[in-house]
């Protein structure tokens, strides 16, 4: 979707936007941590102190803080990718009309901007985990492909929302509620065991559930992850990517005409 010749232009745009976002800021890109850290603290307070959430089974020895941190920053990156990607075409309408840049370029740009916070926070989370004697294990090598599956899902959802948002402004208005639904129907702030077995299948209707489960298995418990979770994560990633690709191919010319 993106020609190699656009790589330099993409890098320069991302670098410029990061600089503009944090210009005259003493902490620079580390401000990208502020919102997720505050939300992390709120969820920790509620689910660890006010309404304690039990992590049962093999997970019982794991602190809820570790459990929450390993999933929340990844969720934050995916959420930002989707929310910014849904509005990226409208926000860059003038550039799209003036330059023959592929539309997929702008979705990739929004995902790379969202990655800035994750690239800062995730190594800190890993260092925090190791400092308390958890890992590293051989299963940490599986974290990268799991993250790529989650990002591919988020990128595809962002592209689908962004394309439809050009024609239907309802997408932009519905997105905050949809993201809240994705958050609370994925095991981001609570373990899978908090859901009754008869209703647990509902979690897997959320594409991001399987990658979240796999990440915690790999980082905290030294397990590669259940094959069913891998199949779900890969299946959702392929299905969403195919859907986004088909929509992109059929709508890219109409999108330019309607911006």
Q: What is the pLDDT of residue 230?
A: 96
**What is the Cα–Cα distance from 237 to 241, expressed in whole angstroms?**
6
Q: How far is CA 106 from CA 78, 99, 228, 239, in A?
A: 16, 12, 33, 21
Q: How far is CA 142 from CA 154, 210, 240, in A?
A: 19, 14, 21
Write the pLDDT tens digit of every residue in 189-223.
Answer: 888 888 888 888 889 999 999 999 999 899 888 89
Average pLDDT, the chain: 82
Write the pLDDT tens digit of every residue in 109-137.
Answer: 888 888 887 887 788 778 877 877 777 88
pTM of the model: 0.83
């Amino acid at each position: 979707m993106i020609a190699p010749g656009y790589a330099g232009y993409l890098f320069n745009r991302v670098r410029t936007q990061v600089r503009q976002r944090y210009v005259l800021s003493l902490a620079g890109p580390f401000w990208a941590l502020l919102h997720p850290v505050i939300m992390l603290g709120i969820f920790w307070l509620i689910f660890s102190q006010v309404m304690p959430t039990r992590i049962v089974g093999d997970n019982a020895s794991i602190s809820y803080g570790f459990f929450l941190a390993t999933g929340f920053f990844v969720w934050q990156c995916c959420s930002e990718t989707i929310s910014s990607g849904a509005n990226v075409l409208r926000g860059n309408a003038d550039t799209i009309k003036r330059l023959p840049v592929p539309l997929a370029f702008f979705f990739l740009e929004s995902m790379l901007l969202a990655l800035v916070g994750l690239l800062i926070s995730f190594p800190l989370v890993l260092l925090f985990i190791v400092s308390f004697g958890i890992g590293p294990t051989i299963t940490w090598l599986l974290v990268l492909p799991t993250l790529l599956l989650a990002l591919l899902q988020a990128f595809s959802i962002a592209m689908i929302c962004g394309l439809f948002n050009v024609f239907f402004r309802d997408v932009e208005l519905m997105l905050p509620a949809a993201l809240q639904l994705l958050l609370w129907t994925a095991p981001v702030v609570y373990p899978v065991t908090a859901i009754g077995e008869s209703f647990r299948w509902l979690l897997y209707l959320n594409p991001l559930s399987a990658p979240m489960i796999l990440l915690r298995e790999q980082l905290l418990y030294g397990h590669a992850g259940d094959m069913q979770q891998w199949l779900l994560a890969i299946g959702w990633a392929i299905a969403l990517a195919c859907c986004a690709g088909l929509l992109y191919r059929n709508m890219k010319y109409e999108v330019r005409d309607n911006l």
